[in-house]
């Protein structure tokens, strides 16, 4: 559709528009719409597929929705910090050490306190939802040092699945990179997002983790960063990542 000046009008689904503002995920936006907490040009909208443009005035809980420019960074998380904005137990979080200019961004997934490596962070809630939704199996690659000498049979067991909690089966693709004395250095690829998944898998096999570092998430890697540093991710890199996700979604839909 075009306006009077013959400029193409771009329409976006309301839930996606809310999510892309950074307010929340698309799933949460659906809940807000369903609960009648969203208005477009003063009128309450409860239709999930409602289309809006940048010229529409949208409020959530009677507060104007601020359309923000999406920002994406990759951050090298050091050990000793948890991946959350605040902690009831008083533990240090990544927000205690992040530069002020990126403290408004949210992490795409988490790394536990003792783990290091890549965290993608953004104010784009829709992007976070895409990257973390369990139905889209985006690979996360880790370099792990485990105590003891593992062998190929252990890798086969990890690929077949290990019950790390009652009713929770964890899977991982892995390969042995080298042996360091009595320890094993592995590359492990996860397609799930279970809490402390690698540590629990290796513990169950009797090879506790000594160190764990995430080196890539999808098409984004940690190259060029030192611990505690961040870099802005270029628009082309985000575009490539979204195309990669689309490719995964198509492959998964064909496999059903």
- Identical fold at 12-64 and 72-135+220-233? no
pLDDT digit string, tens, across residues 62-85: 998 877 788 999 999 999 999 988
Topology of the domain comprising 12-64? 3.10.290
Q: What share of the chain is helix, strand, coil (3-state, %, to 5)?
A: 25, 30, 45
The pLDDT value given to residue 7: 54
Query: What's the pLDDT at 2?
Result: 45
pLDDT surpasses 70 at 5: no
Interval 16-30: pLDDT, tens: 888 877 777 788 889
Q: What is the per-residue pLDDT across 106-145, written as a single tens digit (0 to 9) for each?
A: 999 999 999 999 999 999 888 888 898 888 899 999 999 9
Angle ∠(139,252,120) on CA atoms, nearest 5 = 30
Q: Is 222:74 a contact under the CB 8 Å cutoff? A: yes
pLDDT digits (tens, 9 = 90+) for 168-213: 999 999 999 999 999 999 999 999 988 999 999 999 999 999 999 9
Output the average pLDDT for the chain.
91
Taking Cα atoms as reference points, which of 244, 220, 15, 212 lies closest to residue 137? 244
Catalytic (active site) residue 112: yes
pLDDT at res. 1: 46
Dig out the tokens for 113 from the structure. Answer: 């306190």
Q: How far is CA 234 from the centre of its chain?
A: 17
CATH superfamily, domain at 140-217 = Alpha-L RNA-binding motif (3.30.70.1560)
Q: First CA to last CA across the chain, in angstroms?
A: 36
Residue 196, both tokens: 């402390």
Among 112, 114, 173, 240, which one carries the catalytic annotation? 112
Under 8 Å CB-to-CB from 171, ≥6 apart: which residues?
Answer: 158, 159, 160, 161, 162, 191, 192
**CATH match for 72-135+220-233 among 3.90.25.10, 3.30.420.80, 3.30.70.580, 3.40.50.720:** 3.30.70.580
Reported residue count of the chain is 256
Is-contact 111 224, C-beta < 8 A? no
Find the mean pLDDT for residues 151-158.
Answer: 97
Contact between 205 and 160 (Cβ < 8 Å) = no
């Amino acid at each position: 559709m075009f306006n009077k000046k013959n400029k193409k009008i771009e329409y976006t689904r309301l839930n996606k528009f809310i999510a892309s503002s950074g307010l929340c995920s698309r799933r949460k936006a659906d809940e807000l719409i369903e609960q009648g907490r969203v208005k477009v040009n003063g009128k309450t909208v409860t239709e999930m597929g409602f289309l809006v443009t940048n010229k529409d005035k949208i409020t959530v809980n009677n507060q104007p929705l601020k359309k923000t420019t999406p920002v994406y960074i990759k951050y090298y998380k050091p050990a000793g910090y948890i991946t959350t904005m605040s902690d009831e137990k008083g533990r240090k979080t990544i927000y205690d050490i992040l530069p002020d200019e990126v403290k408004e961004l949210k992490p795409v997934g988490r790394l536990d306190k003792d783990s290091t490596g890549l965290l993608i962070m953004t104010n784009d809630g829709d992007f976070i939802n895409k990257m973390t939704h369990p139905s889209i199996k985006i690979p996360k690659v880790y370099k792990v040092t485990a105590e003891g000498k593992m062998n190929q049979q252990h890798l086969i067991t990890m690929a077949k699945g290990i019950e790390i909690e009652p009713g929770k089966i964890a899977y991982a693709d892995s390969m042995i990179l080298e042996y360091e004395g009595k320890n094993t250095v592995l590359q492990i690829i996860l397609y799930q997002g279970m809490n402390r998944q690698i540590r629990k898998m290796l513990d169950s096999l009797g090879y506790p983790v000594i160190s764990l570092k995430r080196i890539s998430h999808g098409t984004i890697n940690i190259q060029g960063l030192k611990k505690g540093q961040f870099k802005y991710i270029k628009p082309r890199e985000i575009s490539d990542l979204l195309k990669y996700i689309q490719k995964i979604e198509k492959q998964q839909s064909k496999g059903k």
